[in-house]
């Protein structure tokens, strides 16, 4: 989950009123921000663990399979797991260009949303006839996820505590009251009640949706799914990029042929074979080109998301957007008492440039850490996905100032980790699906920050699509309809920059949208995360 970036030009727009967090950036002393960030590791907190599993060896020889899954994030892992659960006799091969869970699946906030449409209001705009059924399917999806984790013994700290949206500005209070009136199953907190629930001088009200989302440790979810796949017999090869895909034959003899080798922008090169053709599974193996191999498959599922699609006609339907997060050191008992937060909800705020934050238990100390992320959403000209974009000091400083203004009682707190990375956003803000090669290949992309939960639903859709049979899922509008594509740069870049500027202006003007945002909304096209 993310929101729009703030530019120096926007800061200079004196006609607009500054938001609470813009003022916080000026009020929190620079020295305090510097001290809080000093020594923070430039890596995902979730992935920085001694429990990180060793990678499976690269694919080094030609092979055949019933189902080839390209991509070892959540979408690919869920596809492989569900495929084996549906048909244990089916041979399933999963290829990952780096290591399982290394990208968005290992560096997100760990929010498992029940929404398949990036919120009910967005669903009403794009698929109004299906939104009630999709809400049901979304809740069912998270419950089935919970059951799957229990069945396979996947310990990823799953907690279904819901989402608490906190009002930071005066106009947020009215928004939350209206939302509570529409859904009386939620719990509304006035200012006194929200302070008793979670103490922050910025909070003016709150709305708790008890069932909107669960929380997980995202890396442990990916690693647990990997172990479950291997146990069921899925063949997994990491550090193996797929560079080409084509159909051969016709009729019942039609097959897909995938070639491996080469590099993909944004994915580190695979390790070179070690002496004596051994592979030690270490993370420090010298980089080089893995041996080429050819995979012949009956069906293919593409789960590469933000990275280059092997279906060239689909490239304009997503843009890569960079999101950033911080994690604190473990809190002391006194600090935990000073905040409250005993019911451990996931938190966010209603602005266009919104934050997401949550507690997570440190496994060594048993104390609580806080993850704090979002606000800036950064698009780089040319749709580039590059490792150097994962670090953005100006955003880390901004997030640190916002955090310290939110919880000033945590004076002296330090952040141990700071990181970022790309997600794939589409113009309707929720996943879309493609098929190719006469139905032998299916692809999902465009999760726009809510893929932790929706990726499991997408896996079921993808398997139904490549089966060639009509099901309830394949007939849904969200499956049959694509979002509007983004134009190529420089048009896309200019449109995104204008949209971000107008989102900032709307935040400053009490949520009131200008002509540009109303126009793009009417088109069903926007920029969000």
CA distances from 429 to 200, 454, 527, 529 (A): 31, 12, 8, 7
Tokens of 477: 């509008």
Between the alpha carbon of residue 200 and those of residues 187, 208, 310, 414, the distances in Å are: 18, 16, 47, 18
Cα(first)–Cα(last) distance of the chain, in Å? 5
Predicted local distance difference test score (pLDDT) of residue 13: 47
C-alpha torsion sign, points 409, 411, 416, 420 = positive
Q: Whole-model pTM?
A: 0.92
* 355 occurs within a structural domain: no
Cα(240)–Cα(5) distance, rounded to whole angstroms?
34
Note whether 300 and 258 are within 8 A (CB): yes
Burial 343-354 (b: 16+ CB within 10 A, else e): ebbbbbbbbbbb
**Quick check: 241 and 97 in contact, CB under 8 A?**
yes
Cα–Cα distance, 399 to 381 (Å, whole number): 23
**What pLDDT does residue 396 have?**
98
Any domain includes 189: yes
| Residues 152 and 168 reside in one and the same domain | no
Tokens of 137: 């399917």
Q: Quick count: other Cβ atoms within 10 Å of Cβ 265?
A: 12
Whether 103 maps to a domain, the answer reads yes
Q: Is residue 328 one of the residues assigned to a domain?
A: no
| Same-domain status, 224 and 303 | yes
Instruction: Verify that 111 and 170 share a domain, yes or no.
Output: no
Longest dimension (CA), the chain: 69
CA distance 13 to 8: 9
DSSP letter for 415, please: E
Same domain as 298, residue 195: no
Q: Is residue 370 part of a domain?
A: no
User: Could you tell me if 226 and 93 lie in one domain?
Assistant: yes
Residues 6 or more apart whose CB falls under 8 angstroms from that of 114 comprise 135, 138, 139, 141, 142, 211, 212, 213, 453
Distance CA 55, CA 57 (A): 6
pLDDT computed for residue 4 by the predictor: 46
- One DSSP character per residue, 437-455 reads GGGTEEEEE--TT-HHHHH
Domain range enclosing 169: 163-210
Phi, psi of 239 (to 5 degrees): 50, 40
| Among the listed residues 422, 466, 470, the one whose alpha carbon sits nearest the alpha carbon of residue 447 | 422
Residues 312 and 172 in one domain: no
Q: Are 73 and 185 members of one domain? A: no
Q: Does residue 189 sit in helix, strand or coil?
A: strand
Q: Determine how many CB atoms are found less than 10 A away from the CB of residue 149.
A: 18
Classify residue 253: in a domain, yes or no: yes
- pLDDT value at position 529? 53
Domain tally for the chain?
A: 2
Structure tokens that stand for 194 in this block:
């929200």
Residue 399, φ and ψ in degrees, nearest 5? -60, -40
Is residue 75 domain-shared with residue 198, that is, in the same domain? no
Angle, helices 451-467/74-86, rounded to nearest 10 degrees? 50
Give per-10-residue mean pLDDT for the chain (529 aa).
46 64 95 97 97 96 98 98 98 97 96 96 94 97 98 97 97 96 96 98 98 96 98 97 95 95 79 43 39 92 93 87 97 97 97 95 96 95 94 98 98 97 94 96 95 97 97 97 94 92 91 86 68
Domain assignment present for 131: yes
The whole-number pLDDT of residue 291 equals: 57
How many of the other CB atoms lie within 10 Å of CB of 51?
Answer: 9
Determine whether 336 is exposed, middle or buried from the number of CB atoms within 10 Å of its CB (0-12, 13-18, 19+).
middle
Task: Clarify whether residues 93 and 176 are in a common domain.
Answer: no
CATH number of the domain within which 131 lies: 3.50.50.60
107 and 141 housed in the same domain? yes
Indicate if 309 and 186 belong to the same structural domain.
no
- 357 domain-assigned: no
Same domain for 79 and 178, yes or no, is no
């Amino acid at each position: 989950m993310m929101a729009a970036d703030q530019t120096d030009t926007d800061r200079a727009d004196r006609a607009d009123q500054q938001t609470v967090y813009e003022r916080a950036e000026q009020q929190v002393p620079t020295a305090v921000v510097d001290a809080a960030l000093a020594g923070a590791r430039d890596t995902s907190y979730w992935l920085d663990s001694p429990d990180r599993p060793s990678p499976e060896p690269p694919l080094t020889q030609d092979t055949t399979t019933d189902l080839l899954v390209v991509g070892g994030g959540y979408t690919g892992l869920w596809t492989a797991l569900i495929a084996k659960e549906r048909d244990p006799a089916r041979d399933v091969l999963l290829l990952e260009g780096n290591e399982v869970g290394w990208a968005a699946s290992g560096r997100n906030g760990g929010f498992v949303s029940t929404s398949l449409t990036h919120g009910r209001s967005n669903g009403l705009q794009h698929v109004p006839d299906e939104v009630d059924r999709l809400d049901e399917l979304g809740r069912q999806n998270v419950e089935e996820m919970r059951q799957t984790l229990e069945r396979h013994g996947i310990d990823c700290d799953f907690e279904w505590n819901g989402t608490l949206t906190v009002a930071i500005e005066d106009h947020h209070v009215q928004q939350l009251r209206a939302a509570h009136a529409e859904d009386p199953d939620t719990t509304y907190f006035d200012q006194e009640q929200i302070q008793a629930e979670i103490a922050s001088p910025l909070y003016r009200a709150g709305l708790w949706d008890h069932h909107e989302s669960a929380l997980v440790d995202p890396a442990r979810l990916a690693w647990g799914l990997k172990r479950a796949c291997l146990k069921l017999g899925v063949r997994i090869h990491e550090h193996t990029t797929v560079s080409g895909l084509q159909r051969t034959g016709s009729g019942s003899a039609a097959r897909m042929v995938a070639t491996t080798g080469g590099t993909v922008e944004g994915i580190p090169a695979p390790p070179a074979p070690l002496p004596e053709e051994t592979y030690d599974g270490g993370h420090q193996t010298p980089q080089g080109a893995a041996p080429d191999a050819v995979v012949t498959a009956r069906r293919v599922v593409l789960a590469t998301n933000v990275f280059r699609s092997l279906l060239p006609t689909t490239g304009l339907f997503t843009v890569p957007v960079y999101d950033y997060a911080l994690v604190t050191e473990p809190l002391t008992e006194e600090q935990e008492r000073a905040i409250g937060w005993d019911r451990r909800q996931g938190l966010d705020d209603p602005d266009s440039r919104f934050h997401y934050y949550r507690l997570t238990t440190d496994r060594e100390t048993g104390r609580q850490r806080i993850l704090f992320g979002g606000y800036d959403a950064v698009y780089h000209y040319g749709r580039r996905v590059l490792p150097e974009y994962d670090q953005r000091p100006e955003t880390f400083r901004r997030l640190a100032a916002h955090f310290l203004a939110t919880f000033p009682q945590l004076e002296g707190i330090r952040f141990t980790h700071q990181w970022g990375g790309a997600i794939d956003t589409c113009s309707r803000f929720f996943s879309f699906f493609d098929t190719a090669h006469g139905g032998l290949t299916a692809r999902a992309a465009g999760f726009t920050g809510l893929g932790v939960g929706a990726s499991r639903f997408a896996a079921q859709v993808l398997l139904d699509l490549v089966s060639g049979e009509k099901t309830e899922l394949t007939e849904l509008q969200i499956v049959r309809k694509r979002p509007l594509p983004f134009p190529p740069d420089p048009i896309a870049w200019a449109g995104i920059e204008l949209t971000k500027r107008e989102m900032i202006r709307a935040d400053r003007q009490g949520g009131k949208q200008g002509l540009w945002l109303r126009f793009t909304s009417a088109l069903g096209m926007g920029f969000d995360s």
